[in-house]
Amino acid sequence: MKNLIVKIAAAALLVLAPAMAHAAEGYSTANVNMRAGPSTRYPAVAVIPAGSSVEIRGCLSNVNWCDVEFYGGRGWVSGQYVQAVYQQRRVYVGPEYYRPLGIPMVTFSVGNYWDRYYRHRDFYRERDRWSRGPDYYYRDRDYSDRDYRRREYRDRDYQAREYRDRDRDRRDDDRREERRREVRRDDDNRSSNFRDLPQFRGGKADTYNRPDPRASPFVCRPGDPSCDN
């Protein structure tokens, strides 16, 4: 019976050993973003409070980023913000401690990782663009934004030209209307002066007030000596 228990325990250790080797306990040293990939340019999926416990599932060999599990969620955190206990003291997780801590070295692929953990996330819709790397993603996005800004500036300039042309046409119309009013005022003034002439009172020729060309230019008045001749 005792031998049977020992064999079962040994078998259990053999089964659990790989799982234990693929996870190490760590602690966050600050409030840090857990991201969808090993770069600060990947989307943030959660915030790990300082001092929180995380499970380190693996780290990259070329950059100091680790795949961690926090409250059932998965993501990537820089090793600069993760510590683990090694020989009764806490050390920052780095390549020199991967093997002593039992942390496996892993690789990262947007397609496999996001398919497994981020299908419900909004950024998953752009998985194909992210699969080329964050630099390509932001470059493409910058190009798209630049094209959008160009179109926006072009449309804005077109509208500004339309407004300028409209204002110019309105000013020209106002000037033409002002000239027409001035011409009408001049015509009205000339007509008014013409009607004020004695022979055109009331707008009609007054024949009774016209001098008679046959009449003598001299009019004799009573008592005038020149009238005695």
81 found inside a domain: yes
Domain count, the chain: 2
Residue 24 phi/psi, 5° resolution? -135, 145
In this structure, the chain runs to a length of 229
How high is the pLDDT of residue 215? 54
Q: Of 42, 46, 70, 67, which is closest to residue 57 (Cα–Cα)? A: 67
229 found inside a domain: no
36 found inside a domain: yes
Residue 78's domain comprises 2-128
The Cβ of residue 148 has, within 10 Å, a number of other Cβ atoms equal to 10
Same domain, yes or no: 118 and 146: no
Same domain, yes or no: 72 and 142: no
7 found inside a domain: yes
How high is the pLDDT of residue 86? 93
31 found inside a domain: yes
Are 123 and 43 in contact, with CB atoms under 8 Å apart? yes
Helix H or strand E encompassing 216 = none
Q: What is the mean pLDDT of residues 152-181?
A: 77
Residue 88 phi/psi, 5° resolution? 65, 25
Same domain, yes or no: 115 and 140: no
pLDDT digits (tens, 9 = 90+) for 55-70: 999 999 988 999 999 9
Q: Of 124, 92, 96, 122, which is closest to residue 110 (Cα–Cα)? A: 124
Same domain, yes or no: 92 and 163: no
141 found inside a domain: yes
Among 94, 111, 128, residue at a domain's last position? 128
198 found inside a domain: no
pLDDT band for position 218 (cuts 50, 70, 90): low
How high is the pLDDT of residue 19? 39
87 found inside a domain: yes
pLDDT digits (tens, 9 = 90+) for 96-120: 999 999 999 999 999 999 999 999 9
Q: What percent of the chain has pLDDT over 90?
A: 43
Same domain, yes or no: 83 and 119: yes
Helices in 22-133 by DSSP H: which ranges?
95-101, 110-117, 127-130
Domain of 110: which CATH number? 2.30.30.40
pLDDT digits (tens, 9 = 90+) for 118-129: 999 999 998 888
- CA–CA separation, 82 vs 140, rounded Å? 32
- Residues paired with residue 76 on neighbouring β-strands, in sequence order: 35, 67
